[in-house]
């Protein structure tokens, strides 16, 4: 036992998880802590439904915020939003605090609330189709490998022709053009794309739009570096993505979370090892990301997780069993919080044995411990300040200081509208892109073009005289507009999109 306690001693800043469980007793003097500097070594929070995973996320997130570290949380059921409000004293909270030797006090933390495409309460998060990329989109559309490669060719064609793909109707317009009588000849130019495959992609896009997923794609595209903000008092802002309204579209939101992570990877500079992370990203329902994923897709995820550590970002995958995470990804998760597992069926027993094998050797009978843990208890191993794994410890976790339940709806809505980001992202912008260009009337003859050019020259001369007298307020209005910001974002992240495409299987050609 002394070796376990010594393994969790932290000289610098750290997070308190709870108190050691030993021989059925909770030892409040034996604190189990994670060094703050090791949070960018990634982690796993796992356990059966109802064992306390959500409260563990809340406990870690609020301590990170208190240390000035921004946090991103995916709120699947709507009950993580309570982190913005102080908790309610007494009852089970007071009992748990007494058991683990916690000085509990009610406290809310600074939060920003988001919603994918504005579906549900929150600031809308949108991505353009072109930055989302063909590989991620192929997973959302459930395309096979051949169809995924064909989608990549369609993106390449749009790039080469200057057809910007902002929303789904842009991509649908390009695909529809390529299978039309006018556009069939273009298929031969890019090679390897059959009319039947293009038709499959077109039908899949139409079905996706009919499910209401078109709201996720468009402009203004969200700048993921907004997740790195701190509150005026120095605490890290907790970004809560409300997903309760889109639970019926798991493939889409899980892939969108991967886009957020990949976009962060390309926007952030290399920083090496810091004394605290720049951001900790919690990836809930992680198994949805890996289900049915191609080998290339899994390789890209593995590489992103491995490399984003040097950008100062920690990633925690949240799921039911470690088996939900591919071995190459699991091997990079140095911090583990494993809640109770059930062994009601032969498959459950097999999963339990597989989970036990992923832990270092310990004095515990882990099969017995993992099936006997109560709600809010877990088996833990993390990385020490020296980078070595700590001994396995059974832990009774602390109680969160914030509200363990949903934030009141009216207060959540008020917080969303009061955010400085609301005016920047709330209103969708639909500028000219591939759909408008392909829908434009055909070009006119040469005589009409010459007349138009002559009229344009006359108008330009007159406009130059007027421009000298114009006030600069017009420029200020344009710069402040949502369209200008969207255009600036599009240009400013061009290189980032190219790298993202390369990570996910396709290199974007620079215009």
Token pair 């255009």 in the structure block, residue: 487
Domain assignment present for residue 73? The answer is yes
DSSP secondary structure of 438-449? HHSPPP--HHHH
**Residue 76 pLDDT:** 83
Domain assignment present for residue 458? The answer is no
The closest alpha carbon to 288, from 315, 248, 327, belongs to 248
More confident residue, 490 or 21: 21
Mean pLDDT of the 317-342 span: 91
Instruction: Tell me the CA distances in angstroms from 214 to 115, 166, 209, one per residue in order.
Output: 14, 11, 5
Residue 116 structural domain: 2-126+219-425
Domain assignment present for residue 194? The answer is no
- Length of the chain as a residue count: 511
SS3 221: coil
**Residue 482 pLDDT:** 44
Domain assignment present for residue 305? The answer is yes
- Structure tokens given for 248: 């019926």
Tens digits of residue pLDDT in 155-188: 989 988 889 999 999 999 999 898 888 888 887 7
* Edge-to-edge strand ranges of the sheet holding 238-242: 25-35, 14-22, 393-397, 377-381, 335-338, 43-46, 313-319, 279-283, 71-75, 238-242, 111-116, 123-125
Tens digits of residue pLDDT in 100-110: 999 999 999 99
Tens digits of residue pLDDT in 470-511: 443 433 443 344 443 444 444 433 333 443 444 553 333 332
The rounded distance, in Å, linking the Cα atoms of 198 and 153 is 10
Domain assignment present for residue 12? The answer is yes
- Residue 458 pLDDT level (bands cut at 50, 70, 90): low
Average pLDDT, the chain: 84
For CA atoms 131, 136, 137, 143, the dihedral sign is positive
Instruction: Tell me the CA distances in angstroms from 85 to 29, 229, 238, 400, 496, one per residue in order.
Output: 29, 19, 12, 11, 36
Q: In this prediction, what percent of the chain has a pLDDT beyond 90? A: 46
* Number of structural domains the chain divides into: 1
Over 70: is that where the pLDDT of 281 sits? yes
Q: What is the model's pTM?
A: 0.82
CATH of the domain at 44: 3.40.50.300
Domain assignment present for residue 449? The answer is no
**Residue 98 pLDDT:** 94
The closest alpha carbon to 150, from 206, 188, 201, belongs to 201
- Residue 457 pLDDT level (bands cut at 50, 70, 90): low
Pick the most confident of 1-15, 45-59, 209-223, 462-476.
45-59
The rounded distance, in Å, linking the Cα atoms of 442 and 422 is 40
Domain assignment present for residue 440? The answer is no
Domain assignment present for residue 484? The answer is no
């Amino acid at each position: 036992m002394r070796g376990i306690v010594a393994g969790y001693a932290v000289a610098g800043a750290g997070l308190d998880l709870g108190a050691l469980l030993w021989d059925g007793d909770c030892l409040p003097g034996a604190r189990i802590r994670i060094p703050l500097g090791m949070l960018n070594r990634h982690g796993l929070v796992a356990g059966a439904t109802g064992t306390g995973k959500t409260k563990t996320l809340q406990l870690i997130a609020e301590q990170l915020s208190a240390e000035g570290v921004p946090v991103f949380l995916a709120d699947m059921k709507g009950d993580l939003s309570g982190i913005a409000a102080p908790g309610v004293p007494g009852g089970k909270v007071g009992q748990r605090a007494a058991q683990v030797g916690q000085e509990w006090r009610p406290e809310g933390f600074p939060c920003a609330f988001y919603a994918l495409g504005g579906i549900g309460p929150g600031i809308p998060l949108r991505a353009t189709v072109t930055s989302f990329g063909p590989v991620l989109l192929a997973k959302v559309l459930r395309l096979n490998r051949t169809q995924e490669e064909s989608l990549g060719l369609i993106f390449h064609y749009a790039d080469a022709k200057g057809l910007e793909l902002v929303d789904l109707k842009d991509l649908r317009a390009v695909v529809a053009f390529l299978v039309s009588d006018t556009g069939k000849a273009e298929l031969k130019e890019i090679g390897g794309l059959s009319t039947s495959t293009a038709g499959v992609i077109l039908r899949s896009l139409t079905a996706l739009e009919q499910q209401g997923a078109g709201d996720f794609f468009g402009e203004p595209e969200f700048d993921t570096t907004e997740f790195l903000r701190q509150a005026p008092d120095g605490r890290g802002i907790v970004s809560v993505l409300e997903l309760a309204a889109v639970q019926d579209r798991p493939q889409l939101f899980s892939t969108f979370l991967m886009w957020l992570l990949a976009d962060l990877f390309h926007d952030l500079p290399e920083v090496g090892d810091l004394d605290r992370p720049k951001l900790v990203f919690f990836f809930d329902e992680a198994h949805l990301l890996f289900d049915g994923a191609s080998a290339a897709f899994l390789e890209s995820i593995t590489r992103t997780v491995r490399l984003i550590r040097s950008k100062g970002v920690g990633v925690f995958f949240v799921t039911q069993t470690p088996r939900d995470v591919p071995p190459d990804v699991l091997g990079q998760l140095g911090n583990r919080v494993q809640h109770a597992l059930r062994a009601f069926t032969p498959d459950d027993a097999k999963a339990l044995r597989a989970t036990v094998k992923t832990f270092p050797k310990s004095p515990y009978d882990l099969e017995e411990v993992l099936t006997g843990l109560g709600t809010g208890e877990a088996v833990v191993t993390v990385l020490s300040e020296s980078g070595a794994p700590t001994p396995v410890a059974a832990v009774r976790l602390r109680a969160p200081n914030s509200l363990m339940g949903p934030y009141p709806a009216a207060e959540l809505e008020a917080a969303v509208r009061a955010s400085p980001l609301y005016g920047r992202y709330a209103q969708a912008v639909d500028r000219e892109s591939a759909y408008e260009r392909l829908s434009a009337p055909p070009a006119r003859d040469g005589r009409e073009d010459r007349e138009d050019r002559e009229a344009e020259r006359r108008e330009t001369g007159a406009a130059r005289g007027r421009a000298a007298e114009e006030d600069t307020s017009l420029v200020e209005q344009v710069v402040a507009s949502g369209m200008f910001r969207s255009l600036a974002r599009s240009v400013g992240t061009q290189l980032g999109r190219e790298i993202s495409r390369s990570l996910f299987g396709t290199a974007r050609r620079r215009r």
